[in-house]
Structure 1
Amino acid sequence: MDWGYTAHVILANSSSEVRVDLELVMYTVMGFFAGIYFFFKGFRDLKTKRTVEDIPTSRIATGAVGTDVEISGKIVCDDDRLLTAPLSGDPCVFYALEIEKLVRSRNSTRWVTIDTLHSDEGFYVEDGSGANALVFAEGAQIIQKGKGFVQHLDRYLRDEVRQRFRQAVADNRTELKKFDTGDADNTSGKYRVTEKKFMAGETVYILGFADSGLKLAAQRKLDFKTFLKARKLVLKHPKLIKRFDRDEDGALNPDELEWGAKVIGQRMVDKYNRDQFAKLYSNTKMVFKKAQPSLFLISNRKEEEVLDHLTLHTRLKLFGGPALSIGCAAYLITIYEDILKFF
């Protein structure tokens, strides 16, 4: 059965003809369930809005660690700790990429989000209270000014942009579910990527669970990026090659190289942990990261603007969702008999 064409139903003992657009029917059914989804999503947004309203803004130095806390402060970062945003090339402290795919049908085209990825470096926020907060933004709900920086993966994409994007995909490939590393070289235009980022010096609003951070530093594990750095380091130095050459054949086989990279990589992480632990203990009062079931929200808008954003989206979903479902249901009821005759 070809869903892309209009189906014709010839009524028995009659010269009349019923035309049923099966593709439209399919999208109407999808719209009905989408309306229900948006309705319930509106309740979640309403809960988020009320949480923002109910939790007062705290100073970092005096906020209650171990509870949900709301703060507002300026992002601070040394120049040598800045990241490069993959698409725009701007120096930043955090970036998030949303990857969409163009889905075509007979009567329409639409962009569908298939994957997201984030940088994994934390950044610091100060509010003038004498202490700072360390923020790991991965998994946070991000409400940002503007629509983000958008690039299409087509033949017009500059080589340096594609190279940075390819590297970001490789560094975060464990996050990807549908977008493959090889897709970064696609030039057909069927993919587009939206970049959101936070810059040093920006004032940000944060609401989430405030941890002391000491356990976080102690539990940090070897990540893939550090593993690759350690692997290159082992291959560069003859003394390290000799150290991990178990069979003493003068070269490292894959198992020996992996063993060496893990050992050296873990030492690199442990050194970072010791330095980070000392810094957390002396300067940082709070650490924010995704912690269920607490809300985790970051925005470079003011709190009032965040509330306006949430109010608008809540109303659209709570009222627009049912309206969409009712409209789709009404259409399906009007053509119900025609659909039965076709099947």
Structure 2
Amino acid sequence: MIDLHGALLVSRGAHAFLTGASSLLALWLLYRMFSRLRRARWVEDTPTSKIRSAAQGLVELVGQVEAGGHPPLVSPLAGHPCLWYRFTVEELQRRGRNTEWRTIERGSSDRPFLLRDDTGTCRIQPGAAEVHPRRRRRWEGNQRRPLGQRAPTGVLGLLGRRYRYTEEWLQEDDQLYALGWFESRGGGRDARAPEALARRIISDWKADYPSLLARFDRNADGQLDAVEWERVRAAAAVEAQQQMRRESTQPVVHTLARPPHKGLPFLLSDHHEEDLGRRLRRQSGWSMAGMIVAGAVAGWLWLALLR
């Protein structure tokens, strides 16, 4: 047994568990404190760009969300028409004399939607985003999935299982703040050098060598000589130019998604930019307070070993 400064006697196993858990919690809260603070700095220090003139890479955009021609999504718990949702289902479970809410199901949508400002539209891919929505509803019921199901009443309702539902969503025409990795495709922006494109075309032709021979083997000797290879290269150069012209006429498509480099943020929120920054700083502050408490408990437990 280990004496915790005269306040309590605990077994060595319990002491090791409590010390490890409080130490890990303090380290996690320390990481979260700096992570939230760094995100707040990104939000506050990154200038807002217009979609048409935005640079490639990490950018901040503000505009209205649109479905982009798709029918709206329907949130799975409450049936709200929306463009993005996130939900959690918890069950009230008994452990001895105590009861606690345990998460049994959670999920979110990942269908892309559009962000529009006064210069154009950008396709948002929300699958890996950290989303901070204003719309949030929490309620309780007697069914695992409340939508479209009739809850039991009377004695069955009192004796049945208890569930708690949480749902968040973004609606069409919401004002959205977005910070992520911006890329533009089409309109000749991603065209390669004509020489590289011609080499790729020749490589594709060589994959079907019989067709290549049928097209360029003028003397029918079953192989391509130097003159015939020159014709192949000339034809590939012409094909490359034609392909580049076709690609240059394609409309430009802008996308915002998760950055390819670790540590860069991908944030979506219908909070105002200043409100989002304050929200992230509050989360950082609460994490710091929790880290101080967890660190003090961990230190108190570690000191008990030195007594």
Distance 1:292 1:100 in 2: 34
Q: Residue 153 of structure 1: CA displacement?
A: 6.8
- The alignment's TM-score, normalised by the length of structure 2, stands at 0.62
- State yes or no: 1:55 paired with 2:49: no
Distance 1:101 1:27 in 2: 27
On the 8 A contact 1:60/1:127 being kept in 2, the answer is: yes
On the 8 A contact 2:85/2:167 being kept in 1, the answer is: yes
Partner of residue 206 from structure 1, selected from 175, 178, 181: 178
Q: Residue 329 of structure 1: CA displacement?
A: 2.8
| Structure showing the higher helix proportion among its residues | 1
From the superposition, tell whether residues 212 and 79 of structure 1 become closer, same or farther in structure 2 (CA, over 3 Å).
closer
From the superposition, tell whether residues 114 and 22 of structure 1 become closer, same or farther in structure 2 (CA, over 3 Å).
farther
What is aligned with 1:82? 72
Q: Residue 51 of structure 1: CA displacement?
A: 1.6
Distance 1:206 1:46 in 2: 18
What is aligned with 1:289? 257
Q: Residue 128 of structure 1: CA displacement?
A: 1.6
On the 8 A contact 2:41/2:277 being kept in 1, the answer is: no
Distance 1:60 1:310 in 2: 25
What is aligned with 2:122? 133
On the 8 A contact 2:89/2:144 being kept in 1, the answer is: no
Q: Deviations over 1:166-218 (max 9, x none)?
A: xxxxxxxxxxxxxxxxxxxxx733x644222110011010000012255xxxx
Q: Residue 107 of structure 1: CA displacement?
A: 7.6
From the superposition, tell whether residues 112 and 48 of structure 1 become closer, same or farther in structure 2 (CA, over 3 Å).
farther
Distance 1:19 1:327 in 2: 16
The one-letter code matched in structure 2 to 1:40 is Y
From the superposition, tell whether residues 102 and 202 of structure 1 become closer, same or farther in structure 2 (CA, over 3 Å).
same
- State yes or no: 1:326 paired with 2:305: no
Q: Residue 149 of structure 1: CA displacement?
A: 2.4
- The alignment's TM-score, normalised by the length of structure 1, stands at 0.57
- State yes or no: 1:92 paired with 2:82: yes
Distance 1:62 1:83 in 2: 30
Taking only the aligned residue pairs, the percentage that are identical comes to 22
Secondary structure of the residue that 1:81 maps to in structure 2? coil
Distance 2:115 2:279 in 1: 23
| Alpha-carbon RMSD | 3.8
Aligned pairs for 1:187-266 within 5 A: 188-189=161-162, 192-213=164-185
On the 8 A contact 1:40/1:318 being kept in 2, the answer is: no
Distance 2:141 2:13 in 1: 29
- Structure 1 stretch displaced more, 100-109 or 314-323: 100-109
Distance 1:296 1:333 in 2: 41
Q: Deviations over 1:141-185 (max 9, x none)?
A: 111225x223557348645169xxxxxxxxxxxxxxxxxxxxxxx
Partner of residue 273 from structure 2, selected from 303, 306, 320: 303
Q: Residue 322 of structure 1: CA displacement?
A: 3.1
From the superposition, tell whether residues 95 and 44 of structure 1 become closer, same or farther in structure 2 (CA, over 3 Å).
same
